[in-house]
Structure 1
Amino acid sequence: MPRLAPLILTALTCASLLVGCADNTTSSTAADSKNLAHIKIPEKVKANTSITVGAPDTQVALKLSGQIDKLPFKVKWANISGGPQCTEAFRAHSLDLCSAAEIPSIHAHWTGLDTKLVATEFRKDPLKHPVYELGIAPGADVDTLADLRGKKIAYSPGQAQGALVLRILAKAGLTKNDVHLVELPSTGDVYPTALGSRQVDVAPLGSVNIKRYPAKYGKDGGKTIQHGLRDDPAHLWAPTASVSDPQKAAAVREFIKFWARSEVWIDQHPEQWIDGYYVKDQGLTRADGEYLVKQNGHPDIPADWTAAIARQQKTVDLLAKETGQKKFDAGILFDRRYESVAADAVAEAGQPR
């Protein structure tokens, strides 16, 4: 591994603590993946039922749309989201539901944590509105995916960015042995800093970093290129233990309805979302918020998960091949009792999906 700047070393240490703690406290065998199809979810949720949810953006959306006080049960909000944080909270039995991409549930299965995906969302026109672009360091001489051979690529195992790197290599006809993977967490400005200081040649950039990186390093030759792959899966994710409990399962179902409608509300109220979330909650500039609204495109909430599971299976198979893990049926990660809940809620509210 190349010598790392202090900022990156600090970030790498923090990420290692998060991921390492999870891996070291569980069995190396895969999770049992309990089948919940036979467990009936009650038609109504009791008002005193409580679930802890890590979905900060949904919390803001429900406040802005005036829906948060209409939840028919108790919600304790946790200011966390994403794979590493949610995984740790799941293991500590302190979280019932969170927002995450596709990879954390796969990684959890391989490290013995039984979880379920209970809601699924994509982006309409996903190739036009990708979640990530490849940041290219000044002087790296990368213009196409074929140029990745022999390059130093930032890699975050167990997260969406890490799996995307492997998928991009496969598309280019390469394997991880054809490049130099540099393990770095994808948090904050770690990837842009590593690119700008030329400690890595390539890194997947998301959110405002897609805009900020070339603005800051473009004069030196820094740029981004498209990878041409779908990278848009987003989920609500739960420990199997939580959705095995009938009342919590009912609360999760009702929460999914509010979540789905809030996703469409965000799409239909961009000005309120920019001001209330990106500017006031996230501390971004209005220009950054406007960019992100345009970058994010429109939500696609499917009523049928068949295609989503098939895409997840391809990811499982690729990761198993590249990491030495055992293949498994991706369908076990999805709790199909909830399959049409989100789409039905949107339809009932008269909102387009």
Structure 2
Amino acid sequence: MSRALRAAALLTTVLISSAVLTGCADNTATTTASSKDLSDVEIPKTVDPDTRITIGSPEIQVALKLSGQIDKIPFKVKWANLSGGPQCSEAFRANSLDVCSAAEIPSIHAHWTGLDTKLVAAAFRTDPVKNPIYELGIAPGAGVDSLADLRGKKIAYSPGQAQGALVLRILAKAGLAKSDVELVELPSTGDVYPTALGGGQVDAAPLGGVNIKRYPAKYGKDGGKTIPHGLRDDPGHLWVPTASVSDPQKAAAIREFVKYWAKARVWIDTHPEEWIEGYYVKDQGLSREDGEYLVKTGGHPAIPDDWTRAIADQQKTVDLLAKETDQKPFDTEILFDRRYEKVGAEAVAGTGADTGSDTGAEAGAGS
């Protein structure tokens, strides 16, 4: 079978799977979440060591092992090999997960599908425009050299995920509407986007991680490339079901985990060699060259002690998504459990991590 036929077959499979998943997701709820207010509920000052929570944060789990901190956690943890919006929201609905690592979009999408959740930690990059998480991959022969050239093009789109929201923000920056392009719904997992680009099924797609390096290396001779989008794309959170932080002992355990999460992020930044070998090479199976690339382009962690501007930027994202996807806008303040606002920053104070109140926000970040 030729490369083109293999790519077409893969894309057909992906499109069928995506349609099935989208159909299932659409049937999970028909109303927005009630968004329980917990701001006046005090979290116990200590955590019962017999408290058990299930955490989906594989990267942090490895960091805690490598740093020797995992056995010091003062409660019982069941680790789940889950992260990101689709996997974690499904586990939240099944009452089988208490904490998840995710970007900003899953909590927004959850609210619109009736799943009541909260954000209990926030982290960003100190120079997110210079070191973005994503670049825009361009297919060979697509004729796209700038964002303005996207008019009339086919763009890979994953609703409910960070990549999907980034596509809408890129269009807004370029002065384009959804009707000016063709959005092709594809899951953003694995090599789906690079394969779709290389096979010509889409003209543009947001690429992250090692795909930013691998895609032009593989398809550059044919004209494949990446271009910068110039937007902030770095919000990272610990995301929880509201039911978990409504339970006093789980709420206390989650507060303690936020501290370990923050320290782990700083440890990763300050121990690049151990992280490359222990995580990227041994755990993820990447080459050392790929690991070095990811460390070099990953920026440095910034854990703010004030979420005001981060909330304001997320509000811009909500307003844009509501407009472009026919959803009802809402006040993003309800997604943030500000009882945890200073926990991460205070845990890493004095370590050199950026904890300034302006961290994680900038003019236009959500536009």
Q: Distance in 2 between matches of 1:155 and 1:15?
A: 11
Aligned to 2:319: 317
Partner residue in 2 for 1:184: 186
Q: Does 1:5 align with 2:38?
A: no
| CA deviation profile, 1:144-200 (whole Å, cap 9, x unmatched) | 111000000000000000000000000000010000000011000000000001110
Find 1:105's aligned residue among 85, 97, 107. 107
Residue in structure 2 matching 1:67, options 43, 66, 69: 69
For the residue of structure 1 that corresponds to 2:240, the secondary structure is strand
Q: Does 1:24 align with 2:27?
A: yes
Aligned-pair CA distance for 1:13:
3.5
Please report how far the alpha carbon of residue 18 of structure 1 lies from its aligned counterpart in structure 2 after TM superposition. 4.2
* 1:263 partner SS: helix
Tell me which amino acid in the other structure corresponds to 2:9. Answer: P
Show the counterpart of 1:280: 282
SS at 2:297 equivalent: helix
Q: CA deviation at 1:55?
A: 0.2
Alpha-carbon offset, residue 19 of structure 1: 4.4
Cα distance in 2 for partners of 1:17, 1:75 equals: 33
- Distance in 2, matches of 1:333 and 1:343, equals 19
1:265-318 deviation line (CA, Å, top 9, x unaligned)? 000000000000000000000000000001111011000001110110000000
Q: CA deviation at 1:250?
A: 0.3
Residue type at the aligned position of 1:231: D
Cα-Cα RMSD: 1.2
Gaps of 5+ in 1: none
Q: Count residues in correspondence.
A: 349
Alpha-carbon distance between aligned partners in 2 of 1:74 and 1:318, rounded to the nearest angstrom: 40
| Cα separation, partners in 2 of 1:63 and 1:18, compared to 1, 3 Å | farther
> In the TM superposition, what is the alpha-carbon distance from 1:15 to its structure 2 partner?
4.0
Letter in 1 for 2:282: K
CA distance in 1, matches of 2:95, 2:26: 16
Call closer, same or farther: CA 1:77–1:19 in 2, change over 3 Å: farther
Cα displacement (A) at 1:6? 2.0
Matched, 1:264 2:266: yes
Distance 2:215 2:141 in 1: 15
Give the conservation status (yes or no) of the 8 Å contact 1:18–1:85. no
What code does the residue aligned with 2:27 have? N
Give me the TM-score of the superposition, normalised by structure 1: 0.97
Partner of 2:363: none
Q: Is the 8 A contact 1:18 1:84 kept in 2?
A: no
Do 2:244 and 2:251's aligned partners in 1 also have CA atoms closer than 8 Å?
A: yes
Distance in 1 between the 2:18 and 2:261 partners?
29
Q: Distance in 2 between matches of 1:55 and 1:19?
A: 24
C-alpha distance in 1 between matches for 2:18 and 2:85: 11
- Residues 15, 93 of structure 1: CA spacing in aligned structure 2 closer, same or farther, 3 A cutoff? farther
Q: Distance in 2 between matches of 1:113 and 1:159?
A: 15
- The answer (yes or no) to whether the contact 1:22–1:88 under 8 Å persists in 2 is no
SS in 1 for 2:127: coil
Q: Which residue identity does 2:206 align to in structure 1?
A: P
Question: Who is 1:158 aligned against?
Answer: 160
1:45-124 mapped onto 2 (5 Å cutoff): 45-124=47-126
The one-letter amino acid paired with 1:281 is D
The answer for unaligned runs of 5 or more in structure 2 is 355-367
State the one-letter code of the partner of 1:5: A
Equivalence for 2:144:
142
CA contact (8 A) 2:28 2:113 kept: no
Q: CA deviation at 1:22?
A: 3.4
Match of 1:127 in 2: 129
Asked if structure 1 preserves the Cα contact closer than 8 Å seen for 2:301 and 2:353, the reply is no
3-state SS in 1 of match to 2:109 = helix
Give the Cα separation in 1 of the matches to 2:19 and 2:299.
33
Aligned residue number for residue 292 of structure 1: 294
Matches of 2:22 and 2:118, distance apart in 1: 19
Structure 1 residues 85, 18: closer, same or farther in 2, change over 3 A?
farther
Structure-2 separation of matches of 1:294 and 1:122: 16
Residues in 1 aligned to 2:71 and 2:179: alpha-carbon distance in whole angstroms: 53
Q: Quote how far apart the aligned CAs of 1:350 are.
A: 3.7
Cα distance, 1:352 vs. partner?
Answer: 2.9
Amino acid in the other structure paired with 1:319:
L
Distance, in Å, in 2 between the alignment partners of 1:48 and 1:160 is 35
One-letter amino acid matched to 1:145: L
Report the Cα distance in structure 2 between the residues aligned to 1:128 and 1:350, rounded to whole angstroms: 23
1:17 offset after TM fit, Å? 4.3
In 1, Cα distance between the equivalents of 2:224 and 2:180? 23
Counterpart in the other structure of 1:224 = 226
Give the aligned residue type for 1:163.
Answer: A
Paired residues of 1:22 and 1:87 also in contact (CA < 8 A): no
Aligned pair in 2 of structure 1 residues 98, 133: CA closer, same or farther (>3 Å)?
same
Letter in 1 for 2:192: V
- Deviation string, structure 1 residues 215-240 (Cα, Å, up to 9, x no partner): 00000000000000000000000000
Q: Which amino acid aligns with 2:13?
A: T
The C-alpha deviation readout for 1:227-260, integer Å capped at 9, x for no partner, is 0000000000000000000000000000000000
Which residue does the alignment assign to 1:352?
353
SS at match of 2:169: helix
Asked if the contact 1:133/1:205 (under 8 Å) is kept, the reply is yes
1:7 Cα deviation from its structure 2 partner: 1.3
